[in-house]
Amino acid sequence: MINGESLIEIQRDANPFARTDVVRDSHGIAHYSSLPPSLVHMLSEQVEAHPEVEAVVEVGGDRLTYRDLWSRAVRVAGGLRNGGVVRGDRVALRQPPGIEWTLAFWGTLMSGAVPVAVNTRLTKAEIDFLLRDCGAKVDLAPPTRLPDADPYVERELSLNDLAAIFYTSGTTGNPKGVPTSHEAFLTNAENARRCFGFPQDAGRTLRTLISAPLFHVTACNSQFVTAAYLGGTSVILPKLDFVTLIDTLATEKISYLVTVPAVYALMLRNPHFDQADTSMVKWVGYGGAPITPSLVHELKQAFPTASVFNGYGMTETASLITALPDAFASEHADSVGYAVPSIDLALLPISNDPNVGELLVRGANVTKEYWNQPDGTTAAFVDGWLKTGDVVRVDDAGRVHIVDRIKDIINRGGEKVSSIEVETILAGAPGVAEAAVIAVPDSVMGEKVGAVLVADDTDIDLSAVLDHCREHLADFKIPQHVAVHSDPLPRNPGGKLLKSRLRELVQWGPAFR
């Protein structure tokens, strides 16, 4: 029971993912029984097994084998210790994506300290807040060189120890720090292996192209750490450039890709992609935003030798919560899939429909609290469950479908409208480059559906847009207020839409009906 409501746990009967070696503790939390003792132990094992395999490649920069990575990272650890860093101290990582970031990450872990992944796109004031909030003892920011001294390795690390802190996007206020344990990192890597179909002995054949910033958990946890977990290679693109990205597929023999649907759409439409060699690509993952069935079809055509899959997760879950395998990617493109093996799912009902509600999660990869946020922790964590803030629908097969963020559901006279559903339809309307849907207060209905549109190269014909909506949406979901903006929609440095800011900016005209 939460707030007087009974939880509805989602059954795993049709779940395709193997749960071998999964055990439950006295609180019912699922754990893998055979993980390495820590991230440092895991890396040490790969250095011993595959010393000459490339661990990290910076496109246009240096290349490090596992032996090179270890020998340089332990010197960073030694430098941190010589500078007064002790076990548990926080070290802010502000390097751009590349070799320096990876050495700072592993070196901080080896020193026994805790790397704090800082979003380098934030303003100075925002970064200052993060540094104060985490209590950073050292700020590793360019152009300062990384610490360097005699090698040091803290080997007395365990699965329960704090490994890193990531910060949420802060779309509704200051970002919240998310403590992430060694077990959470390693559990997510094992979830990725099982759900995405990576062989246990993938080794040098697993070469992932990281085009997203490493301060995001998808890039860090589901690519960078997962590649190390399997003895593979992280190929890091310092900045997103489509021609370089496309060329790198062949030059670096990339086998594993992950990015958001918008980047795939732009990549496939880039003229340079016509000459791309995609023959080495075996795994194509996407997430972070809804995807259309037509784009899934395009991905399957563009990468004919690859499995195509969806992944859904949060900073608080060290990345993955659910995954949609290739077998369901085309037919169920509107779904984010099934619970990964370490995760239990439950619904907190918001209506009389038992298949729709706020998604709650628990598992070994789920954080237990927010850093320095007791009130936020109390609000989000109840009886071992994390309230995700996402409203979902679960179908008969146990697949999860994202309906909306709970704060963005529009209540139109008792009819609940998903802003995500309406935005998806508007994205396909003529002349629309961007669309955001928010509630407009109304004295009669309580709320009405409002749409903010940004035009592409042509002017927006509102009549054509509304006709398009009538073809695809129920009457009560059709926007009754529409505002057209000339500037791009406001987003945070991580690319997430700032609807709170949009509500302040938009000036609505009279309702259409």
What DSSP letter does each residue of 49-105 carry, written as one string? Answer: H-TTSEEEEETTS-EEEHHHHHHHHHHHHHHHHHTT--TT-EEEE-PPTTHHHHHHH
Give the integer Cα–Cα distance in Å for 165 and 178: 5
Domains of the chain: 8-22+30-403 (3.40.50.12780), 409-505 (3.30.300.30)
What DSSP letter does each residue of 448-480 carry, written as one string? Answer: EEEEEEEE-SS---HHHHHHHHHHHS-GGGS-S
Q: Are 247 and 273 in contact (CB under 8 A)?
A: no
Average pLDDT over residues 301-320: 97
Look at residue 446 and tell me whether its pLDDT is greater than 90.
no
Phi, psi of 355 (to 5 degrees): -100, 5
Look at residue 456 and tell me whether its pLDDT is greater than 80.
no
Give the integer Cα–Cα distance in Å for 152 and 150: 7
Q: Write down the pLDDT at residue 4.
A: 54
pLDDT tens for 373-389 read 999 999 999 999 999 99
Average pLDDT over residues 346-360: 92
Q: How many CB atoms lie within 10 A of CB 370?
A: 22
Look at residue 225 and tell me whether its pLDDT is greater than 90.
yes
pLDDT tens for 142-180 read 999 999 999 999 999 999 999 999 998 765 567 899 999
Torsion of CA 494, 497, 501, 503, to 10 degrees: -170
> For the CA atoms of the chain, what is the radius of gyration?
23
Per-residue pLDDT band at 407 (split at 50, 70, 90)? confident
Give the integer Cα–Cα distance in Å for 212 and 96: 11
C-alpha closest to that of 335 among 364, 355, 362? 355
Cis peptide before 290 (omega within 30 of 0): no
Look at residue 226 and tell me whether its pLDDT is greater than 70.
yes
Q: Write down the pLDDT at residue 370.
A: 97
Average pLDDT over residues 196-210: 94
Q: How many alpha carbons lie under 13 Å from residue 426 in its C-beta half-sphere? A: 32
Per-residue pLDDT band at 5 (split at 50, 70, 90)? low
Flag the least confident range among 305-309, 334-338, 396-400, 498-502. 498-502
Look at residue 493 and tell me whether its pLDDT is greater than 70.
no
C-alpha closest to that of 91 among 104, 76, 73? 104
pLDDT, the chain, mean: 93
Give the integer Cα–Cα distance in Å for 224 and 234: 6
Q: How far is CA 222 from CA 219, 318, 383, 388, 469, in A?
A: 6, 9, 27, 19, 37
pLDDT tens for 7-47 read 899 988 899 999 999 999 999 999 999 999 999 999 999 99
Tokens of 487: 């500037």
Q: Write down the pLDDT at residue 442.
A: 82
392 Cβ partners below 8 Å, 6+ apart?
347, 356, 357, 358, 359, 400, 401, 402, 403
Flag the least confident range among 90-99, 255-264, 371-380, 491-500. 491-500
